[in-house]
Every structure is written in C-alpha cells, then in structure tokens.
Chain A
Amino acid sequence: MKTNENTPSPPVKPESPEDFDRAAFIKAAAILAGAAAVGAVALVNGKRTKISNEPTGEATVRKLPPMETIPVDRHSDPLLRMQKELEIAMAKPVEQRHWMMVIDTRKCVGCHACTIACVAENKLPPGVVYRPVVTEEIGRFPNVALRFTPRPCMQCNAPPCTPVCPVKATWKRPDGIVAVDYDKCIGCGYCITACPYNARTRDAGEFYTEGTPALQPYEQEPNFEYGKHWKREGHKSPIGNARKCQFCLHRLEVGMLPECVTSCIGRATYFGDGNDPESLVSELAAKPNAIRLLEEKGTKPNVVYLI
C-alpha cells in the first residue's frame, strides 16, 4: 500500500467518470483472472496429489514367526487358516496386500462381543464406537424377528471421507485401510458427515467412569492405534479427533488378527488378503450370496456380507 502511494495514482489517468470506471474494471478483471488461474492450478493439484506418504516396498515386509507346531491347510479351523494367511500377506510389501473382511450374517447371533472387544482393544471412550452391530427388528410385535449386521469401517476403495478432509489428515493406505493421522486432524467433523455408513465418530473427551469415585485404570491406559502410543488426557489427541475402525492395523503389524475376528463366538467374521487368490476371504467374497452395504453409494466397500 505504502509503496504505491509514492507512484503517481492510476496508470490510466482517469479523465471522466467513465474512464475512471473502465480503469477500475480492467484492474479488477486482471486481479480476478489471476486469482482464478491460481485457483484452478490449486484445484487440479489438490485433486491429483496423493495425500498418503506411507512407506512402501521392502521396508514394509514383516517376518512374522512361522506357525510350525500346527499343520494348516484349507480344511483347518478358519482362525488358524486366517492366521497362516496373515503371515503370508505380511511377508509381502504393503502395496501388494489388500485387506478385506467378510461377515457371514447367517452366523451372527447378535452377541455384540466384537463391539465390546473392539472397545477394549482400542480403549474407546463414550461416543466412539468402531464396530456396532446394527440391530433391525422385522415384523410387528409379537411376530418379530431380529436381524444383525456388524458394521466395521468398510475401508472403501472409493472412500467419500478422505477427499473432504481440509487438512490432509486422512487417506487410503496402500493396503486399502483408510487411516487417520490424529496429530494432523483438526476435528472439524466434515469426514464424519461424508460417510454414508456413519463409520466415523468423534472423541468428545469423556470417560465411562467419570463421576464415579475414581476413573478406572482401564480407561486411562494408552491405545496403540496406527502403531503409536495414544494416551487420552487433557486436550491431547485422539480427544477431539475423528476416530474410526482401522482393521486393527497395529495388531496386523505384529501378526495378530483384528480383535473383532478373534473375539467372534460364531466364527462369523473373516479377515485376510484380497490380493491372495488362495485366501479364505477371496474364496468367500466370490460366493453368489455375497453383498456389500449401500452399494448404490458407489463407495466400493472392502467389507463383504454373506447373506
């Protein structure tokens, strides 16, 4: 502003009000055209750049202790088979794995064990749930039936939640998991509104045992989401952040199946590498009774339901 003052006023010396107007309009048009060009570049750039800078390649290969004591083949118990397949998948670089979950709704009894196991594993506070079991009542009392649909994050191939993040705090990993960086998330809630499955929730900073004589230690222990150490206290992350199921990534890294899979009493939840044609999940996902939730939304979920 200051420097401009010293130069003689507008370059086109306005003589009449019309000239004055014209000079102003030309300058404004120039500013707007410049701004529009910068904006277009920013938009194209923003749409094209990948947000994730996850490591890939050899560095991501995990040599897990092999399961040698028990022979495992296609006919073994599904948990053993999935454990073996996990070991095989983790021996590949991250970009060659593609995690999938298959849920056999015919085997789900609606016990909610997976929901609670998940809460315990990830030390979830009130208001945050990663895997609720959707419970529908069908029919009219007294002739009713119940239908149960466990709903983890679908880890969509076309996630509607990641492109909306204004600060690049959430992205799709090379192995298909949709991750959140708690240290970057500002907690605006936009991703939460963008998910048609309501799979994202926000940590409001509450504790279940608040208002009782003492906060219980189990709520104050850190969780290990994304392989880091998160202790909920004060205003520190993940308090205030968007939180979601991440297929227990921190467990996978050390050779354990997701908590909901191991805790399912009916063997209704299957997990594995969709890129391995021999895996149990690849086999099940190809069954004729396989569906995905809200397929019309075009999100291409990686959670498959057998009905």
Chain B
Amino acid sequence: MKKHWRILLWTLWVIVAVLGVHGFASRLIEGHRHANYGSYIIWGLWVSAYIYFIGLSAGSFLLSSMIYVFGVKKLEKIGRLALFTAIITLCMALISIWFDLGQMFRAYRMVTSPNFGSMMAWMVWLYSLYTVIMVVELWMAMRADLCRWQSEPGVRGWVGRTLAFHRGPLPPEKERWCHHWLKVLAIVGVPLAIAFHGGVGALFSTLSARPFWHTPLMPILFLTGALVSGGGLMAFVVAAFYPHRNDEQRQMVAYIGRAVLGLLLFDVVLEWAEFSVPMWYGVGHEYDLLMRVLFGDFWWVFWIVHVGLGCLVPIYLLAFRGDKLWSVGLAGLLIAVTFMTVRLNIVIPGLLDPHLQGLQNAFSDHRLVFWYVPSFFEWQVTMFIVALGSALFYLGYRFLPLTANQTENSPVRH
C-alpha cells in the first residue's frame, strides 16, 4: 500500500479511536444520559449496530462453511480469513449490545438464570455456542501453521508456541484429526448460524405489539441480509487483504462477487415483498410507518444510501465489472457499509408510532417522544467499537496464520 494511504488510514483510525474511547469512558461513568434514545424509542443506534455486526458475522461464517462443509476448493485459501472476520464482527456486535443494557454488569444473568421461553435468551445462548465453535474451528484450521511458526523469531514464534498446544511440527495424524473435527464443527455451525441469526430476526418478529416487525418474513430477511452483507464484506476483505496479488485472488474475488450479486438480487425481491405487501392499498398502521421510511425526514437514508449506494451501484459493478478486482472489492465494501441503514430502518420505524394515538401529547419529556436521531455520544460509542474491531482485525492479520501456508515471508503490510 502506498505510504500516504497508510498515513491517512492511521490518522483516521487514531481520530476514531480517541473519540471512541471518550465515548466509551462516558458510557461507563455516566450511563445512558447522553444517549438520545428514550423510553418509547428504547432501541436506537447500538441495537441497529448490533444486528448489523452480527449479520456480518453470520454472513462471513456461512461463507467459510462453503469451504469447510461444501468443499468449494476455489475459496480454500480464505477460509481462515472468513472465520476470523466472523469472530471479530461477532465481538463488535456483542460489545455493541452490551453497552445498550441498562445494567451492563448483570449480563451474566443471561447465563445464570435464562428464561428459555424468551427469544432473547435463545439468541444469547446460541451465539455463545457459535463463538465457541468458531474459535475452535479457527484454531484447528491454523494449528499446523502455528506449529510451523514455533521456530521463528519474534512475535510469530511466540504466537506459535503459545497457541499451538503442541511442540514441534504437527504429526500428519494430528493434522488429519484437526481437519476431521474442523469439518464436523463446520457442519454443526451451519444450522447453528442459521438458527441464531434467524433467531435475531425472530426476536423482533415475535412481538405482536409491533406490527412493523411482526412478520414471518423477518427471520428470512435477516438471514438473506446476513449473507449479502457478510459476503460483501468478505469480497472487500479478500480484495484488500489477501497477501498475494495474483490470478488466484482475482478468481476468488470474482467468485464471491457473483455469489453476492445473486444474494443481493434475492434480497431485493424479499425487500420488495416486505414493502409492497403492507403498502399496496395505502391504508393502515404499517403503511404510515413505511411511508415515513420512504418519504419521511430520512428518505435519503433509504433512497440514496440504501437503494443507490447499497444496491444500484453494487449491482452495476458486480454485473458489468465483475471481473475487475477493485470493482468487486468496492461493491462489497459499499454493500457491507450501507447495510447499516437497512438495520436502522428495521429497528427505529418499528418503535416510531404509538398504538394509543395521543400518547405523544400526554407528558412533555425529552425521553417520552416518538422521534429519534442518534446523539454524537452514541456515534462515539459505535466509533469505539469500530476502532476496536479494526485494531483486532489488524493484529490478527499481522500475527496469526490467517491465509493458508504463508510460511515463507511475513504477511504483506497493509
């Protein structure tokens, strides 16, 4: 990467990190006071960010399962990268939702006294299992390389000695054992990822009090969204971070790009159903809410960011420039980043309108309103999560054997 680009990225990271740490400290010390969500619109930016990151995680994980379960040979070399991306985005999701809790240090109660009648308890348990499976899978996939690293000097040798749990080169039967169980776990992971991400959709759609969310399509929409956004992210990650600029990389990126294009088109169909069915005859509660999404104060979030930058531009790039590395990478990045607006447009409109008309006039209080724009503090906390996630990703990228058989040289600096 060119030097000035590197300086620019580092500067950007430092700014985001400083603002983020300030937000993080403020969240710990002063709680929810500086947030703009209130008692009626109880979930805002952080919950949206949570379902966004967790979607990226489920999507990249399912992509990794294409390799480990379905044996797509073409993508073999990016399996670990996909798994690692899934782990990092999951961490980001969990931190995001943890900050949203009113009593964040009681989160352990989800483990000690769960109510398995609640969709939320299921979600927590399922993604805990999912985390364990992903970490073990990644370890098994890296183990042979970790053993190979042990004799090297510096951090890599240390990482190899600490994480391999084995001295010296890994004997073939152990490597085989690792591959075998990696496959078992990858197979187990597929229904688990579907269950838990569908479960996040179900967390919303099971609430009969919120007609905007209460649709059986929601879990399916969440899954498709996860595949699209996670696939987009992986297209970008492989285009930007794969250590060798060669034909193999171009082929992998083009392959992911085609899959993402198909998924994106399918997602558009689902979204059409989600909007057109409740809106067709122009009457009803949901119609009013959807009209606010399409033509309310934040119309540009839907039309410009989501439809324009998140659908039309990527569809053009993937369909007509699908063979070029940069265009697929850019399309993937656009899809992955703008998908946040889809998440915001699910969470917030669902809470916008009271069933009891006139409740908005009942009590004058800045937290008892049906209006929400995230405060700068909320953005700061999200910046903290992004800075932390990108730092963890960078560390892993530098100091873990994430791309297969990269024993010869140190990874290419980014």
Residues in chain A within 8 A of chain B (CB atoms) = 1-2, 4-5, 8-10, 14, 20-21, 23-25, 27-29, 31-32, 35, 42-43, 45-47, 51, 115, 126-129, 132-137, 147, 149, 151, 160, 163-169, 184-190, 192-198, 200-206, 235, 237, 239-242, 293-294, 297-298
User: Can you name the residue of chain B whose Cβ is closest to the Cβ of A4?
Assistant: B177
A293 to B177, Cβ gap below 8 A?
no
Report the minimal beta-carbon distance from B168 to chain A, rounded to whole angstroms: 14
Q: Which of B5-13, B108-116, B405-413 is near enough to bind chain A? A: B108-116
A193 to B351, Cβ gap below 8 A?
yes
A242 to B102, Cβ gap below 8 A?
yes
A192 to B361, Cβ gap below 8 A?
no
| B368 CB contact (under 8 Å) in A127, A196, A294 | A127
Report the minimal beta-carbon distance from B300 to chain A, rounded to whole angstroms: 26
By a CB distance below 8 angstroms, the chain B residues around A1 are 136, 165
Query: Is B2 an interface residue when CB atoms closer than 8 A count as contact?
Result: no
Report the minimal beta-carbon distance from B131 to chain A, rounded to whole angstroms: 15
Chain B positions 344 through 379: 1 when the CB is less than 8 Å from some CB of chain A, otherwise 0:
000000110011111101110111100000000000
| Cα A55 to Cα B6 with chains together (Å) | 65
B359 to A237, Cβ gap below 8 A?
no
By a CB distance below 8 angstroms, the chain B residues around A135 are 358, 361-362
A235 to B209, Cβ gap below 8 A?
no
| Cα A137 to Cα B358 with chains together (Å) | 8
Known pairs A166-B114, A190-B120, A196-B209; A127 contacts B102 (CB<8 A): no
> Total number of A-B contacts with CB less than 8 angstroms?
219
Known pairs A51-B115, A198-B40, A201-B368; A132 contacts B33 (CB<8 A): no
B39 to A167, Cβ gap below 8 A?
no
By a CB distance below 8 angstroms, the chain B residues around A126 are 365-367
B32 to A204, Cβ gap below 8 A?
yes
Query: Is B118 an interface residue when CB atoms closer than 8 A count as contact?
Result: yes
A134 to B180, Cβ gap below 8 A?
no
For this complex, 27 residue pairs linking A to B, each with C-beta atoms less than 8 Å apart, are A5-B177, A9-B173, A23-B180, A24-B180, A24-B184, A46-B121, A128-B39, A129-B362, A133-B362, A136-B361, A149-B356, A149-B358, A167-B110, A168-B115, A186-B110, A187-B104, A188-B102, A189-B102, A190-B120, A196-B209, A198-B40, A201-B367, A202-B42, A202-B102, A204-B35, A240-B31, A240-B102
| A189 CB contact (under 8 Å) in B43, B113, B115, B209 | B43
Report the minimal beta-carbon distance from B183 to chain A, rounded to whole angstroms: 4
A27 to B184, Cβ gap below 8 A?
yes
By a CB distance below 8 angstroms, the chain A residues around B38 are 127, 204
B110 to A189, Cβ gap below 8 A?
no
By a CB distance below 8 angstroms, the chain B residues around A242 are 102
B362 to A184, Cβ gap below 8 A?
no
Report the minimal beta-carbon distance from A121 to chain B, rounded to whole angstroms: 16
B188 to A297, Cβ gap below 8 A?
no
B102 to A160, Cβ gap below 8 A?
no
A193 to B33, Cβ gap below 8 A?
no
Of the listed residues B40, B184, B208, the one surrounded by the most CB atoms of chain A closer than 10 A to its CB is B184
| Cα A135 to Cα B364 with chains together (Å) | 12
B115 to A294, Cβ gap below 8 A?
no
By a CB distance below 8 angstroms, the chain A residues around B110 are 166-167, 186
By a CB distance below 8 angstroms, the chain B residues around A194 are 207, 209
Report the minimal beta-carbon distance from B202 to chain A, rounded to whole angstroms: 12
By a CB distance below 8 angstroms, the chain A residues around B203 are 190
B363 to A129, Cβ gap below 8 A?
yes
A43 to B116, Cβ gap below 8 A?
yes
Known pairs A24-B180, A186-B110, A202-B102; A164 contacts B120 (CB<8 A): yes
By a CB distance below 8 angstroms, the chain A residues around B361 are 134-137
| A186 CB contact (under 8 Å) in B32, B102, B188 | B102
Mark out the residues of chain B between 168 and 217 whose CB falls within 8 Å of any chain A CB in the assembled complex. 173-174, 176-177, 180, 183-185, 187-188, 191, 203, 206-210
Query: Is B268 an interface residue when CB atoms closer than 8 A count as contact?
Result: no
Report the minimal beta-carbon distance from B132 to chain A, rounded to whole angstroms: 12
Query: Is B291 an interface residue when CB atoms closer than 8 A count as contact?
Result: no
| Cα A298 to Cα B31 with chains together (Å) | 36
Of the listed residues A24, A32, A237, A240, the one surrounded by the most CB atoms of chain B closer than 10 A to its CB is A24
By a CB distance below 8 angstroms, the chain B residues around A115 are 362-363
User: Can you name the residue of chain A whose Cβ is closest to the Cβ of B182?
Assistant: A24
B102 to A164, Cβ gap below 8 A?
no
User: Can you name the residue of chain A whose Cβ is closest to the Cβ of B347?
Assistant: A193
Query: Is B154 an interface residue when CB atoms closer than 8 A count as contact?
Result: no
A129 to B356, Cβ gap below 8 A?
no
| A129 CB contact (under 8 Å) in B104, B114, B191, B365 | B365
| B187 CB contact (under 8 Å) in A20, A25, A42, A200 | A25
Known pairs A9-B173, A115-B363, A196-B355; A204 contacts B116 (CB<8 A): no
Report the minimal beta-carbon distance from B185 to chain A, rounded to whole angstroms: 8
By a CB distance below 8 angstroms, the chain B residues around A5 are 174, 177
A235 to B357, Cβ gap below 8 A?
no
